[in-house]
Structure 1
Amino acid sequence: MTVGRLLGIARHDRPRGPMETVERVRVTRELGLAGDYRGAILPGKSGRRQISLIEAESWAAAMADLGADVPWQERRANLLVAGLRLPRQAGPIIAIGPSLRIEITCECDPCSRMEEMTSGLKAALLPDWRGGALGRVLADGEIAVGDEVRIET
């Protein structure tokens, strides 16, 4: 089994709002990451974009390509993981801490907002899912920076 660590947690309470990093947070099927506006599943929606994950190694590679030093949370991802390669397809389950389970639903395609931060960042995040993955919460959990991250299926 591949095992990594949760290095960071970030959220924003409104569209285009500032990112806030936290040390621990509750994550639920109904609301996603507590305090993050994107996590709640709206009526008629699937929740496939409920939570976002990015690999520390992919972010570092993009920063090296650009010769930049932008903090990871400015990517607007919720969870920063290290030490494992996130799946590059929909379906696998990511386990974080004792109970949180997230189903990977799709790639987190970098948007034009990345260009607002650093010229070339969108292109640097395009190869090999460097921009991260999106997921749907399957099982609730309390998570904290330092928790174990596993790929279950």
Structure 2
Amino acid sequence: MAFPFFGDDKSKIAQMLATLPQQGRVEWIGIRPVRREPLVSLPEVEVLTDARLHGDHARVKAGGKRQVTLIQHEHLQAVAGFLGREEPVDPGRLRRNLVVSGLNLLALKNRRVQLGEEVILEVTGECHPCSRMEEELGPGGYNAMRGHGGLTARIIQGGLLRVGDAVRLLPAEAQAAPE
């Protein structure tokens, strides 16, 4: 018996990959004003085109693939569970800039998304955990974050971003041509 989405018809898979009707939401924004210092949680931030979040210490290059980092809100509880904790992990401890809820961030990899009214990001890859997770989360922090580290993105168009702003996949015609 053939399954409707498998077999020789790759266009159906391409169609499914291009379809993401769900809309997400920005739940948290954080910047790192100083290297190795705690993140500062903000209600809004100016996103600088092809650069970084205003006030973040990160040194990024134009066209760089890691200008901003995102993590899925739903993964905060999963990471806490792997650490044997009841409460979700504080997003500031994970050293990511944006926490997004309501959609599967991995489905956005290599795609362009709009956040709020102005900001457009191109999701460039996975953001794997680093050894700092042992410092931030305690023993086992690195392994708890594996597979839950979030994604990196390049800022295509800047603007003002606020907690509560919508996150949505841009239509196919707004996606960049493969590089």
- Alpha-carbon displacement from aligned partner over 1:104-124 (angstroms, at most 9, x marks no partner): 111101000001122112111
Instruction: Give 1:88 deviation, angstroms.
Output: 5.2
Match among 141, 147, 150 for residue 165 of structure 2: 147
Count of aligned pairs: 148
Which ranges of 4 or more aligned residues in structure 1 deviate by more than 3 Å? none
Q: How many Å separate the matches in 1 of 2:102 and 2:50? A: 29
**Once the 2 structures are TM-superposed, how far is the Cα of residue 30 of structure 1 from its aligned partner?**
4.3
Mapped to 2, the partners of 1:77 and 1:59 lie a distance apart of 12
Radius of gyration: which is bigger?
2
Counterpart among 81, 85, 92 of residue 104 in structure 2:
85
Q: 1:151 and 1:122 mapped to 2: Cα distance?
A: 30
1:120 to 1:85, Cα distance in 2 relative to 1, 3 A: same
C-alpha contact 2:50 2:67 (8 A) present in aligned 1: no
Is the contact made by 2:50 and 2:63 (CA closer than 8 Å) also made in structure 1? no
CA distance in 2, matches of 1:30, 1:5: 22
Unpaired runs of 5+ residues, structure 1, are none
Q: For 1:4 and 1:97, locate their aligned partners in 2 and report how far apart those are by CA, in whole Å.
A: 10
2:74 aligned residue (32, 57, 64): 57
3-state SS of paired residue (1:64):
helix
Identity, % of aligned pairs? 34
Flag the structure with more relative contact order, 1 or 2, with Cα contacts below 8 A and sequence separation at least 6: 1
1:6-53 alpha-carbon deviations (Å, 9 max, x no partner): 110000112212210000111012431110111x533xx632110000
2:47 aligned partner, one-letter code: V
* The structure with more strand, counted as a fraction of residues: 1
What is the CA distance between 1:151 and its match in structure 2?
Answer: 2.0
Secondary structure of 1:61's aligned partner: helix
RMSD of the alignment, in Å?
1.7
Write 1 or 2 for the structure with the bigger share of helix: 2
- Output the amino acid matched with 1:150: R
Match of 1:15 among 35, 38, 46: 35
